[in-house]
Amino acid sequence: MKLVVVSDAPIIKHKDQKKAYAPYVKEMNLWFSKVDEVQIIAPTRYNKPLLTQPFDRQDIQVTSLRRLEFHRISIAVVSLLTIPYQFIVLCFAFAKADHIHLRCPGNLALLSCLVQILFPRKKKTVKYAGNWDPKARQPMAYRWQKRILSNTFLSQNITVLAYGNYVNQSKNIKPFFTASYYEKDKEPIVKRDYTGELNALFVGTLSENKRPLKVVQIVENLRNEGVPVTLDIYGNGPLFESLNDYIKKNKLNPFIHLHGNQPLSSVTQAYKKAHFAFLLSRSEGWPKAVAEPMFWGCIPIATAVSCVPWMLTGDDNQTRGILIKELSNASEIIKEFLNLNNKLDEMSNNAANWSRQYTLDKFDYEIEKLL
């Protein structure tokens, strides 16, 4: 079987190795292990820091296409001029594929969504890694992709893997998940003491979307109100320096620490001990920064975005985390929960039990069925 993957995620060639963003590689290794031949169509240039790792198999055919960008007139003109060439490349690749796998959303992904219409008989899957919530405010390109993929006339013989379970969806849409751990990784949950020193985590890209400064300010407010909480921040991004400056300026160093990018093994050790993990994103797909800490009984404190409300309450109405609907009163909401020790123990256990349903073993099995 020949698998053709189209993604906006860049493939980086370094020292004769093909690499990409580490979580993406970890997932795609599972897909690639089940096919004979792999072709990835993606950009091959990226000039920002990126946590990468090599693919398990290196016999991947990489077809480089320019990143389609429209934030400046000059770049937009060049992108528009390259679209006909990219269209032809995608057509030839799809014609030779046994299975087409699109990684959405993205500008190259949008073009791929249009091209796949010409191949109604080809078996196709789409991993929609963004927010599938029909009510979410999103860029026009994202809305177009969702409409094309949901349309059973335009998108035939296709399964769209979307995060969350929403009503009135077409038969193309399959609620799905992402996993980080195997069954063999499961260990007994450490019982936390919520009456003493508390430890919170932030894990993710330090970008405007993730709002790490808000996390720092919430912890700062809690400290000022007498709550003994520390914060460890794992990740890097464009806000690293400004965040570091804010911490130094406000003398928060004793209880807020920046660790930069760290391997999953180091972050996992932090999850096992921490009481809480923050996610205050404006937009998300399947937030690993919620699912991963839950796996270890670490209670998420998260904004009600994308599938997060379903993750934290679901159809069973169990409480598995602290849902923040208004950031202005986040500190007060957290303090209210801190007065409920028994409730927090129950929440921790509920979080672990729910997250441990979604292992890489199950993920691997579901991929095999899709292929």
- Reported as a single tens digit per residue, the pLDDT across 192-225 is 999 999 999 999 999 999 999 999 999 999 999 9
Cα distances (angstroms) measured from residue 344 to each of 43, 74, 277, 353, 360? 45, 54, 13, 14, 27
- Report which secondary-structure segment, H or E, holds 244: helix 240-249
The answer to whether 9 and 42 are in contact (CB under 8 A) is yes
Q: Once rounded to an integer, what is the mean pLDDT over residues 89-117?
A: 96
Q: Any alpha helices (H) in the chain, and if so which ranges?
A: 22-32, 73-96, 107-115, 140-150, 212-224, 240-249, 264-273, 288-295, 308-312, 330-338, 341-355, 360-370
Q: Once rounded to an integer, what is the mean pLDDT over residues 163-191?
A: 91
Grouping H, G, I as helix, E, B as strand and the rest as coil, residue 272 is helix
Q: What digits encode the pLDDT tens for the residues 239-256? A: 999 999 999 999 999 999
Would the pLDDT of 96 be above 70?
Answer: yes
Would the pLDDT of 29 be above 90?
Answer: yes
Residue 316: per-residue pLDDT: 63
Highest mean pLDDT range out of 35-39, 141-145, 187-191? 35-39
Stretch among 25-29, 224-228, 278-282, 338-342 having the lowest mean pLDDT:
338-342
Of the chain, the end-to-end C-alpha distance in Å amounts to: 9
Q: Taking the CB of residue 231, how many other CB atoms lie within 10 A of it?
A: 26
Structure tokens at 11: 């493939």
Would the pLDDT of 294 be above 90?
Answer: yes
Residue 292: per-residue pLDDT: 96
Which of 159, 75, 127 lies closest to 286 in space, CA to CA?
127
pLDDT bin (cut points 50, 70, 90) of residue 164 is confident
Which of 79, 112, 77, 80 lies closest to 97 in space, CA to CA?
112
Would the pLDDT of 347 be above 80?
Answer: yes
Q: What is the percentage of the chain residues whose pLDDT exceeds 70?
A: 99
* Fold matches, 2-181+360-370 and 187-355: yes
Q: Which CATH number fits domain 187-355: 1.10.10.10, 3.90.550.10, 3.40.50.2000, 3.30.310.50?
A: 3.40.50.2000
Would the pLDDT of 281 be above 80?
Answer: yes
pLDDT bin (cut points 50, 70, 90) of residue 125 is very high
Residue 68: per-residue pLDDT: 85
Residue 243: per-residue pLDDT: 96
- CA dist., res. 361 & res. 175, Å (int): 17
Would the pLDDT of 348 be above 70?
Answer: yes
Maximum C-alpha span of the chain: 64
Angle of CA points 173, 175, 181, to nearest 5°:
140
Which of 94, 71, 89 lies closest to 3 in space, CA to CA?
94
| For the chain, domain boundaries | 2-181+360-370, 187-355
CA torsion through residues 275, 277, 280, 286, sign: negative
Stretch among 67-76, 110-119, 156-165, 179-188 having the lowest mean pLDDT:
67-76
Stretch among 160-174, 227-241, 257-271, 315-329 having the lowest mean pLDDT:
315-329
Q: Give CATH for domain 2-181+360-370.
A: 3.40.50
Q: What digits encode the pLDDT tens for the residues 73-93? A: 877 888 889 999 999 999 999
Q: Taking the CB of residue 245, how many other CB atoms lie within 10 A of it?
A: 10
Whole-model pTM? Answer: 0.85
Grouping H, G, I as helix, E, B as strand and the rest as coil, residue 319 is coil
Q: Once rounded to an integer, what is the mean pLDDT over residues 128-137?
A: 87
- Report which secondary-structure segment, H or E, holds 211: none
The answer to whether 294 and 268 are in contact (CB under 8 A) is no
Conformational region of residue 196, where left means phi above 0, alpha means psi within -120 to 50, and beta covers everything else: beta
Residue 315: per-residue pLDDT: 65
Structure letter (DSSP) for residue 72: S
Mean residue pLDDT across the chain: 93
